[in-house]
Structure 1
Amino acid sequence: MKRFKKWMRAKPKFPSIAEVSPEDVGREELSSALEQNETIFRDIFKNCSDIVFRKARYAGQDSLVVYLACLVDEQVIDDHILKPLFESGNKQETEPAALGAAALSESIISAGATKLSSQVKEIVRQVLDGYAAVLTDSDGQALLVKANGVKHRSLEEPSSEQVIRGPRDGFIENIATNLGLIRGRLKSARLKTESVVIGDLTQTQVVITYVAGIAGDSLIEEVRDRVSRIQIDGVLDSGYIEEFIEDLPYSPFPQVHSTERPDVVVAELLEGKIAILVDNTPFVLIVPMTFWTGLQASEDYYTRWPIATFVRWIRFLFIFIAIFAPSLYVAITTFHQEMIPTNLVLSIASSREAAPFPAMFEALSMEVVFEALREAGIRLPKQIGQAISIVGALVIGQAAVEAGIISAPVVIIVSITGIATFAIPRYNFASGIRLLRFPLLFLAGTLGLYGIVLGFLCIVLHVASLRSFGVPYLTPLGPITTTNLKDILIRSPIWSRRFRPQATGGSNPVREPAGQKPSPYRNKRK
C-alpha cells in the first residue's frame, strides 16, 4: 500500500483541458494585421482537414473567410459572404476606404445574424458552432456570420410518448428548432430564454426557459446556480445535466422530468416550472418534478375529464400492482397460506407440486428473465425487437411450466406485473418502480408480510422526505393543499382549474377567471 501511494505521488499529472485546449493557442486578441491573424488560426486548426481559409478582396483591401465546411451551409457562404465581397472588389474605387468588420456588416455582407468579436477564443468557439469568421486587414475585429448548415431529422411524433389525441410533433436534436416549437405555442414576450455553454470540449449550448411573472424568482435563481456549477469535459445528452442538478442522486425516483413533447413543456411552463433545453438531444428537462407527474400523461388533458379520471385511478392501481404483486404472492404462498381461500390454495399447491424451487426463487428468476426480454426488445432492430420479446416470453414461460421448473401462477403474476409497469406513462418513473420490486421480493421471501410492511414504510418515508428543487415530492398531498388536489386524484374540467399549483405558480396563482362553466342558457338573450 505504501508503494502504491508513493507511485501515485510520483506519477505525472495529466494536463487539464484548459492547458491543451486549442482555443488558448497564440494571443488572446486579434491583431490589426491580416497575415498575423491568419497564422494564429492556421496554428489553432492545424491538422483539421475540414477547415476552409478563403481569401477575398473587397474595396481595394484583403479579407479572409474562415469556416468549417462540415458545419455550415455552403450556399449561405457563397451567396451572402463571398459573392458580396467579390462584387465590391470589382467596383472601381477612386479612394479605397478602410472598411473594417463593422462596416462589412452594414454595407457588404447580406447575412441576417452577425456579430463582432476581437477575442480569439470567442471567434474559435463560434466557428466550431457553425459561424463563418470574416477577418479584415484594417482593424482587430472579426465579423461572425451565422451560417449553420448541419442536417437534422424532420419533426415526428415521439416514440416514447405516443397519444391517440393530441399534437403529433416532437422535439429533435436541434435546440433552435426546439425553441421554435415552444415559442410557436407560447407567443408571449414573457417567455424568457437564458443560454449557457457547458462542456470544455463539446461546448454544448444549454438554455433555461421560463415564463416571467409565473415562475418564482427563488426557483429561477436555484436553477441558474445549479446549472452554472456544472464543470465537465463534454455533455452528450440532457441526462448528463439531470444527474448534476437533482437533489438526491441515490434515489430510484427521478426528481427531474424529461419529455420529448412541446405541449408538455408549455403546459409545465404555464404552471410556473422551468424547462432546460440541451443541444443535440430531443429530451427537455423540466423542474421541479413531483410524484404525481410520473403518473400523468399529456393525453389526460385532451380527453373528457371523467375518462381521464378513470384512467388515472387505473394507473394508481397498476403502480400498486407493479410494486407489490410479486412480493405479496411470495409472502402469502410461503408464510401465510391461511389467508388464501381453500379452493385457490389447493389450485396453487397442485401447480407448485412439481416445482423444485421455492416461490421467491421462482418469482425472482422470472422477473430477471422478463427484464432481459424487455431489454432485448428495446435494443434489437424494430423489425424483430417486438417479435423477440413477445415470442420469447410465450415460449420461455410455456416451456418452463411444462418442464415443471416454474409454476404457472408465478408466470401469471410476473406477466400482470409487467403489464402494470407498461401502464405508467413516464419511462424514467416506471424504471424506478421496476427497481423497487427486487428488494421487496427478498423482504417477502425472508420476513413475509412483515417484510412487505417494512419495505412499504421505507418507501413512504423516502418519498415523503424527497424534494425536487425545494418542492416536496408528494405535493400537494403532502403537505396537503386542497385547491390543487383536483388535478391529482381526479382530472377536473379545464374550466374549473382556476389556480396554478401553489408550489410553483404562487407568484401568479390565478390561471383563469371564475364563472366559465358551460351552460346552454348562459348566452341566451332575456
Structure 2
Amino acid sequence: MSFFKKKSRKSTSANTQTELPQKNNDASALDINLERNLATFKDLYGNSSDLVIRKIQFGEDHKLHVGMIYLDGLVDKQMVEDLLDAFMFQMKDNQVTVDSLEKDNVTTILKNTSIPIAETTELHHLQDMESAILSGGAILLIDGVTSGLKINISGWAERGVNESSTENVVRGPKESFTETLRTNTSLVRRKIKDSSLRIEELQVGKVTKTEIAIVHIQGIANEKIVEEVRNRIKLIEIDSILESSYIEELIEDKTYTTFPTLYNTERPDVIAAGLLEGRVAIFVDGTPFVLLAPALFTHFFQSAEDYYQRWDIATLLRMLRVLAFFISLLGPSLYIALINFHQEMLPTTLLIDLAAQREGVPFPAVIEALLMEVTLEILREAGLRLPKAIGQTVSIVGALVIGQTAVEAGIVSAVMVIVVSITAISNFTLPSYSMAISIRILRFGFIIFSATFGLFGITIGLFLLTLHLCSLRSFGVPFLTPISPFVKEDQKDTLWRLPTWKRYTRPRLVSKKNNVREDQMTSQNIQLGKRSEG
C-alpha cells in the first residue's frame, strides 16, 4: 500500500514541473503519397544528420517508387547493402508492375518473395514506425501504399561477453552480462533450456523508450509476485531510464532504507539460479546489471561460488562473511565503547598499552574514528574514480602513507589505524556491493551510539536495526525470511549450505508452488547406493 502512496506523491510533484514538449506523432495510417510520407519523417526527426532516406525505383519502366528510412549507426550497413541487392534482383526477376500492385497486397508480396530478412513486419502507424527506426530497424515505404514494412537490420557497436568485473569467482562460469538486452536474455536461455521460461518486454521512458524484460519460469514463480512486478513497472511515468537503478528505486517497497530490497548482479548463472528458485528477473537494455526480486537478507551473503564448492567449504565461507559483517558494522564502535566506558573488560596489560599509545593524541576516540573513517572513504572513492592503471596504487599507497604519518604526528593512535583497517577489509568480504555500502553508512551511526552510551548504545542500535529489518518487505516477502518468520524447511540454504541432495525444495515464501526441485526418494536412493558400494 505504501508503494501506491509513493507513486501518488511522485505524480503530484510531477504535475508541478514543466511538461516536456510533445512530438506531433500522427497515429493514423500513412499518406498514399511517398514524397509526403518521407517529408513527414524528415520533420519528425528534425532533418537530423544521421537520418538516412534512400529513394529507389523498381519494376517495369521504373514505375514502382520505394523509400527506405533508417538511422546511421543503429543498423548494419552490410545488411543494408545485401538487402538492397537482393531486393533489386528479386524485383527485376519478378517483373513487378503497377498493374500487379493494384490487384494484390504489395507489402505481403514483397515480404514473402523479395525481402531476405526473417524479422519483417507490416506496420500501419507512424508511432510504430518511429519506434522501429529508433530501435535499429529500417522502414520500407512504397508509393501508393498506406502501410510500411519494418525490417530488423540492427547492428550497432556493442561490448562482447567478458568476465565479470564485480563478482569474481575462483571456480564457476566466467561470463557476465553486457549492455545489450537480447544478448543478456540469450545467456539465460542457454542455461535454462525450458519452454516454461517466459520473457515479457515493455518500454519505459517517454524520451529514452528503454526496453525492459520481465523474466520468470511459469509454474515455478509466484504469479502474484510476477503480476506485482509487471504492475509496478507499468505505473512508472518518467522521461528516461538509463540504468537498472532507476527501476530499482521506482518499484522497491520501501525507499527510506539503506538496505537494498532488490538484488542486482551481472552474472547469468546467479540469475538462472534465482529463476529456478521462483524469483523474477528484470532486464534493462543498456546495462549489464540485472535485478532479481524478491531479495532476502540472507541472499546478500551468498556467492555464486558457494554452489560450485563442497558444501562444508561453502558453509565455512558463509560463516566468515557473517563474522565479517559484524566486524564491518561494529568494529570501531566496540573499540570506542571499551576505551571510553568499559575499561574493566580489557586485560590490564592491554589497557596500559592502549593508554600509553593514546597519551599524545589530542582527540577523543570518537573523533579519531570519524577522521580515519572519512579519510578511508575518500581514498576508496578516489581509487574508484582514478584510471585503473594508477587507482589501486594510489588508494593503497595513500592509505599506508596517511596512516603512518598520522600516527607519527600524534593525530591518531596506532590501534585506531589497525581497527579501521580490519573494518575496511571485512567490508570487502561481502559478495554484494550494495549491501557492503549500506553497512558502511550504518557504521557511522553505531560510532555515535557507542560514543554516547557505550555498549548500551550499541545494544540500542542493534535493537533498532533488527526492528527496521523486520519491517522491510521485498514484493510482499519479509526481508528476513526464512529467519523471521522462521521457516524450518528453508534452513538448508541460508547462512549455511547443506549438501545438494539435501536441498530438494525451493524457498516456501518465494515460490509457494512446485516447491519440490528434486525427488526426495531419488536422492535417498543415491545415498543408499553410495553406502552399499562402500
Q: What is the TM-score of this pair, normalised by structure 1? A: 0.94
Q: Judge conservation of contact 1:101–1:134 (CA < 8 Å) in 2.
A: no
Match of 2:316 in 1: 310
CA drift of 1:93 comes to: 5.1
Residue 304 of structure 2 corresponds to which residue in structure 1?
Answer: 298
Residues 1:404 and 2:410 aligned together? yes
Identify which of 179, 185, 198 aligns with 2:191.
185
Q: Please state how far the C-alpha of 1:479 moved relative to its aligned partner.
A: 0.4
| Contact 2:91–2:114 (CA under 8 A) maintained in structure 1 | no
Match 2:128 to one of 118, 122, 142: 122
Q: Secondary structure at the match of 1:503?
A: helix
The match for 1:370 among 373, 376, 379 is 376
- Could you tell me which amino acid in structure 2 is paired with residue 30 of structure 1? L
Q: Distance in 2 between matches of 1:101 and 1:16?
A: 39
- The one of 12, 20, 23 equivalent to 2:22 is 20
Partner of residue 9, structure 2: none
CA contact (8 A) 1:64 1:134 kept: yes
1:421 paired residue among 424, 427, 430: 427
Aligned equivalents of 2:70, 2:87: Cα separation in 1: 16
Whether the 8 Å CA contact 1:321–1:420 is kept in 2: the answer is yes
**C-alpha spacing 1:55/1:47, structure 2 compared with 1 (3 Å):** closer
Distance 2:193 2:122 in 1: 30
Deviation at 1:160, TM superposition (A): 0.3
Does structure 1 residue 63 correspond to structure 2 residue 66?
yes
After superposition, the Cα gap between the structure-2 partners of 1:432 and 1:220, relative to the gap in structure 1 and judged at 3 Å, is same
Equivalent in the alignment of 2:523: 516
2-structure distance, mates of 1:306, 1:13: 58
TM-superposed deviation, 1:299: 0.2
What is aligned with 1:83?
85
The verdict on how the C-alpha distance between 1:371 and 1:229 changes in structure 2, with shifts beyond 3 A counting, is same
1:116 positional shift:
1.2
Q: Which moved more, 1:146-155 or 1:207-216?
A: 146-155
Write out per-residue CA displacement over residues 119-167 of structure 1, whole angstroms, 9 at most, x where no aligned residue: 1011011101100000012321110000111111111111100000000
Unaligned runs of 5+ in 1: 1-11
Q: Secondary structure at the match of 2:139?
A: strand
RMSD of the alignment, in Å?
1.7
- Show the counterpart of 1:384: 390
- Mapping of residues 4-153 of structure 1, within 5 Å: 16-17=19-20, 19-21=21-23, 24-26=24-26, 28-59=28-59, 60-80=63-83, 82-91=84-93, 92=95, 96-98=99-101, 100-153=106-159
For residues 3-48 of structure 1, the C-alpha deviation after alignment (integer angstroms, 9 at most, x for no partner) is xxxxxxxxx987633x432xx2456321222122112112112230
How do 1:215-230 and structure 2 match up within 5 A?
215-230=221-236
The residue number in structure 2 matching 1:9 is: none
With 93-102 and 508-517 compared, the bigger mean Cα shift is at 93-102
C-alpha distance after superposition, 1:490-516 (max 9, x if no partner): 211111111000011221100001132
The aligned residue for residue 342 of structure 2 is 336
What is the alpha-carbon distance in structure 1 between the residues aligned to residue 18 and residue 244 of structure 2?
Answer: 27
1:491 paired with 2:497, answer: yes
1:395 aligns with 2:407: no
What amino acid is aligned across from residue 53 of structure 1 in structure 2? I
Aligned to 1:454: 460
Shift of 1:524: 7.3
Q: Distance in 1 between matches of 2:418 and 2:136?
A: 55
Structure 2 counterpart SS, 1:170: coil
Q: Aligned partner of 2:22: which letter? A: V
Quote the Cα distance in structure 1 between the aligned partners of 2:16 and 2:258.
Answer: 36
SS at structure 1 position matched to 2:220: coil
Report the CA distance between 1:217 and its aligned residue. 1.1
Superposed CA offset, 1:442-482 (max 9, x none):
11111111211111111000001111000001100100011
Contact 2:123 2:148 in 1 (8 A): yes
Partners of 1:505 and 1:231 in 2: CA distance: 30
Q: Is the 8 A contact 1:71 1:150 kept in 2?
A: yes
2: CA distance, partners of 1:275 / 1:182: 10
CA distance in 1 between counterparts of 2:530 and 2:462 reads 50
Flag the 1:467–1:143 CA change in 2: closer, same or farther, 3 A. Answer: same
User: Deviations for 1:185-214, whole angstroms, at most 9, x for unmatched residues?
Assistant: 001110001110001111100000000000
Aligned counterparts of 2:305 and 2:431: Cα–Cα separation in 1 = 10
Q: Describe the SS at the equivalent of 1:233.
A: coil
Once residues 27 and 243 of structure 2 are traced to their aligned partners in structure 1, the CA distance between those partners, rounded to angstroms, is 33
Quote how far apart the aligned CAs of 1:90 are: 3.4
Aligned residue identity for 2:404:
Q
TM superposition shift of 1:520: 8.4
Is the contact between residue 301 and residue 495 of structure 2 (CA under 8 Å) also seen in structure 1?
no
CA-to-aligned-CA distance 1:261-308 (integer Å, 9 cap, x gap):
000000000000000000010000000001001111000000011000
Counterpart CA distance in 1 for 2:17 and 2:345 is 65
After superposition, the C-alpha distances for 1:365-399 in whole angstroms (9 at most, x for unaligned) are 10011111111111111111111111111111111
Look up the equivalent residue of 1:31 and give its one-letter code.
Answer: D
Percent identity between matched residues is 43
8 Å CA contact 2:318, 2:496 repeated in 1: yes
Q: 1:95 to 1:405 in 2, by over 3 A?
A: closer
Contact in 1 for aligned 2:199/2:215 (Cα 8 Å): yes
Give the 3 Å change call, closer, same or farther, for CA 263–122 of structure 1 in structure 2.
Answer: same
Work out the CA distance in 2 between the residues paired with 1:133 and 1:94.
21
Aligned residues: 510
Task: Show the counterpart of 1:348.
Answer: 354
8 Å contact from structure 1 (residues 101, 135) kept in 2: no
Instruction: Give 1:522 shift.
Output: 4.6
- Offset at 1:70? 1.2
- d(CA) in 2 for partners of 1:338 and 1:85? 89
The answer to whether the 8 A contact 2:27-2:127 is kept is: no
2:442 maps to which residue? 436
Pairwise CA distance, 1:57 = 2.2
2:54 match: secondary structure:
strand
Structure 2 residue ranges without an equivalent (≥5): 1-14
State the partner residue of 1:273: 279
The 1-side partners of 2:90 and 2:269 are apart by 48
Counterpart check, 1:285 vs 2:294: no
Q: Which residue of 1 is the match for residue 178 of structure 2?
A: 172
Aligned position for 2:216: 210
